[in-house]
Each structure stands twice: as C-alpha cells, then as structure tokens.
Amino acid sequence: MCGIHAVISTVAIPDISPELRHLLSNRGPDYYGQVCRELPFENGDSTVHLNFTSTVLALRGDHVAKQPLESSPNGSILCWNGEAWKMNGQPISGKNDAEFVLAKLDSYSSDLEARQSHILNTLRQIDGPFAFVFYDAYSKSLFFARDRLGRRSLLFNLAEDGNSISFSSIADPATDWKEVQADAIYSINLNTHLATPKAFKFDTCFIKHDWVLFASDHMVSGIGSFNVTLPPPEHKLDFDSPSVEILKYQLCESLKLRVSDIPEPPHTLTDADVRVAVLFSGGLDCTMLARLAHEFIPANQGIDLINVAFENPRQVAIYKKRPDPPPDIYEACPDRETGRKAFAELKSTCPDRYWRFIAVNVTFEEAMKHRPRVVSLMYPHETEMDLSIAFALYFSARGIGYSYIDKTEWKQTAPTVTSPARVLLSGLGADELFGGYSRHEAAFRNGQYPRLIDELKLDIGRIGQRNLGRDDRVMAHWGKEVRFPYLDEEFVRFAVGSPVWEKCDFQNPFHPAVIDPAKRIMRLLADKLGLPRTAREKKRAIQFGSRTAMMETTGRHRGTQIIARPEPVKC
C-alpha cells in the first residue's frame, strides 16, 4: 500500500501542502519520496512541469522500494499503489512487485506505437489490486488507471483553465476531486501536445484503452463472462455438490497469496506475533476467511479479529425506554453478539491457533471528534450511508480496543491493545458474487433467475464505483493495507462463470439443514469447515450491525442524503 500524487502543469507547481503530505504519509509511513521533471515545448519558449510524489508501506520483497521508482534505461517514472499478485497468470513472489512491474513496462524500446502496445499489454496482464501513474519517458506519455475492480483509490483534479492535472490517492482538502473510473487504462500523450502549445489542454486529451480488447456480451469488469444459463427443472444445491469443494479450492488459492510472506511489523510493542487481522463482524464472509487463513498462516503467528461497536444516541434512547435495558450498549450491538459467538466457534474448531478478539468500542463523542477527518477521507463520496460505513471501517482499521483471548473473558477489565497487523482481510465482494443481499432475493421473486442474473451482473460491475475507492482511503489512513480475497481475479472469474443456482438457491428456500438460500454455497462450505453456527448466520449490513447508521439524526432520513464537506482538517 502506498500514497501517490502527481501533477502535470504548464505553470510552476507549488510545493505539496503540509496537510496532503501528512495524509499521504499516513498511507505509507515507511518512505516519502519525490521526483521532478521538466519538458520543453518544441518552440523552446515554455515548459511542462511534472512532479511525482510517493509514500510507501513496505509489504513485499526484502527491502523498502523507494518510490517514485525511476528506470535506468529510459528515465521512466512509476508511482505504484497496491499489489501485483500475478503477471500473465504467474505469481510474482520473492521480489518487490512495484520494481518488477516497472522493469516489465520499460523493457521494450522499439517504435512508439509498438512500445505503447507493449505497455498496455503488460498492464492488462497484471492481477491484483492497484492504482498507478506511469510516465513513459521514451514516448513522453502518461498512463494512469485503477485495476478492473477499482480496489485502490486514485483521484484526479483538473484545473479550471485546463492547463494542469493532478492525481492523488487521497484528496487535497482545498480542491475538488473525482475518482478515476476503473473501466480502462487512460493515457495522455504529452509529446503530441508539446508540439502545439496553444492546444495544450488536459481536459481534452484523455485517451481510453479498454482492459479487454474483444469483450463478450456478458463480460463483467473485464475479468470474465457471466454465466447466464438457466437451471434444469430439477436442481438442488446440497452438501455433496461438487461446487462446494471447488469453492474451497478457489478461495484457498486467493487467500494463500494474501497471507503468505508478510514481513513482521516494525516497532511492535507486544509479545504476540500478529501480522494479519480480520475485519470481523462474526458474519459468514469474514469468519470463513479467518477459518481458512488459519490453514496458511504460520502456527507461531496469531490472528486478530477486530470487532467494532458504536454508541449510537438513537439506539441509546430506545434502550432507555425498555424496562430491562442492556447493561452495556456496546455488548448489545448485533455485530458484537455475533462476533463473540464466531470467536468461540473458531477457538473450538482451531484450538491451537492464538486467536485474539479485539473489541473496539467507540463513544459518540469520539466518533464526532473524528467525523471531519472521516468525511474528508471518504470524499468524493458524500452520503449519509457512505459516512455510516466509513465510520465502521475507519475505527476497525485503527485496531484499538479491548483484547480477549478466552471466549469466557468478556468483562471490561481486559487490557487495551493496538493490533500490530498491517494487513487486514475483508469479506467484501462475497454478497455481490454469491447473492447475499435482500435485493437479490427480491429480484428472484420478481423475475426468477433472469432477473437475478441481471442484478448480480450489475452489482459486480459497479462495486469499484460504489465502495472500494472510499474504503481504501478510509482504512489506509492508519498505515494498513486491506486485502479482499473474494475479489481476486481468478476467484471472481470462477464465481461469475458458475451457474447462479450453484451459488444461491432461492428456488429451494427450505433446506433440511436450515441453511438460507442466499450465498448457500458459502454456507455449505462453512458447515463443512466446522462452523455450523456461522453457516446459519443471517446477513446484516455493517452500518446496522455496528450501530453507525444515522448516528447524528432524529426522525426518518435517507441514506442517499448528501452531507456537507467540512473545512480542511489541520494536521
């Protein structure tokens, strides 16, 4: 994980603001670097300025790769944020992935057209969550993109006069930004514009290069074709279905990439060796990740389960009207209750693992203290629902809470700890892939499998636009990298290529084992993995499970209501 920032301008570029430098350094605390270039116009009377800034969170290879990276053959520059897990289907292991990517990008120096084709083909071969800005010095072209699913943040800002463009992982509070769409690789040919100074306007010079050159009618996010076949008259998804074991294999392959060879966090002030934490509500998606991660994380390392609960004044007022209000508002949160139960189930199933349940309790006062920062981080997302979700992710990623290692120790005398893990596992994507939302069941009721297929295709296609850039900005603020095993390219290709009735089974809602039809294939696998309670857990949105929904409001409000952007927060 890194913070990247780049400015290309026909006028002198001011120093990066202290506030933005602070935000970028929070994302990448291990290194801060800058590279500046100047390109003269052909008539010699003006210059294009290029400034690149990177901060680094070092999680790959045996050294800190100091960014921005510069190539020795041509002087090209790469600002890289994220992970390249595979190149052309082959794992990138034992080396720094950013350095590997730059070497591949800058390894071809034929004519300009062939070089551009090489760069685009190289980028299309990368599997992993990433965003980047790449200056190709050979062709004087700028390339930028987010990966096909948009798992990493990249914003851009165009000056009003069109004479400069900025890119950043996080928004400068003083200006307006938009998210780079995750639908393609984009480029700007500076060489063309250097010959015609009067036509140099950045708002008219984006060139779009699709992720897939020849997409099928049912292509999803440039990754795979969605299976739209309808089920046979008699079908049933059950424990002996072959697809259950295939799901386990695919998920294990995704997890192995994301939990192996993680370096020990620096400056660890705890006796426990913990390098991975799970964003843990106790629900099906995250608990299954924790259970399977146990298979691949070394036995001498612990796993933190971070569970967040909020003091919501609206809910407190409801409790006060009851004759028997709960003694502890945090312990009464739905996600805390399911989290406890799932923690006990994991300890019972995998007793030799050092599991640590971290109960993050957030008072209303503390939430409001951090509210301006959270709103600033999630920008340009700006709705009440965005804020509700961002609150939960922000405090979860911070990882400060009460530590429990025994399922019976729920008293508040537990010590307060900060999870040292710099890799966070998230269950995001499972609902979109396997039909976990209530709207999926509603779609089936209204139009059977054809309607459900359309709804699932829509969800996967828009996940980067709706969720992932916001989530990256909010959680990376703490110098953590969130990884999404359910959104691995190979896993997504498997999921969208599987028939819908082998993932969820709304046509046969009454199952002998009382396993819900939503995400049924995942529930069957969880049961086989020794998680019978988790397999039967109901879906609950994070903002309701953690009690962050509408914390400041009374009466009825819509989640789509726009919230005001605060004044810039002082660093």
Question: Phi/psi of residue 37, each to 5°?
Answer: -135, 160
Tokens of 10: 């026909």
The predicted structure's pLDDT at residue 537 = 87
State pLDDT tens for residues 174-221: 788 999 999 999 999 887 666 665 555 666 678 999 999 887 788 888
CATH topology of domain 224-545: Rossmann fold (3.40.50)
Q: Closest by alpha carbon to 302, among 340, 339, 335, 346?
A: 346
Whole-number pLDDT of residue 317: 85
470 is written with which tokens?
A: 């916001």
Residue 532, preceding bond cis, omega within 30 degrees?
A: no
Set 2, 286, 333, 504: catalytic member: 2
| Intervals of the chain under pLDDT 50 | none
Predicted local confidence at residue 43, as pLDDT: 66
Instruction: At 417, give phi and psi (nearest 5°).
Output: -135, 165
- Closest C-alpha among 7, 268, 36 to residue 155: 7
Q: What token pair was written down for 401?
A: 């809470």
CA–CA distance, 129 with 488 (Å, rounded to integer): 8
Q: Using N-to-C axis directions, what is the helix angle for 384-398 and 469-476, rounded to 10°?
A: 40
2-214 against 224-545: fold identical: no
C-alpha dihedral (157, 160, 164, 166), degrees to nearest 10:
-10
Phi-psi region of 481 (alpha: psi -120 to 50; beta: other; left: phi over 0): beta
- The whole-model pTM stands at 0.94
Residue ranges covered by each domain of the chain: 2-214, 224-545
pLDDT value at residue 270: 65
Residues 6+ apart with CB under 8 A from 321: none
Left if phi > 0, otherwise alpha if psi is -120 to 50, otherwise beta: which for 544? alpha
pLDDT at 531: 96
pLDDT of 376: 94
Please tell us whether the domain made up of 2-214 is placed in CATH 3.60.20.10: yes
pLDDT in tens, 544-563: 778 888 777 655 566 678 88
Whether 504 is a known active-site residue: answer: no
Q: Are 174 and 15 in contact (CB under 8 A)?
A: no
Query: 481: which strand partners?
Result: 423
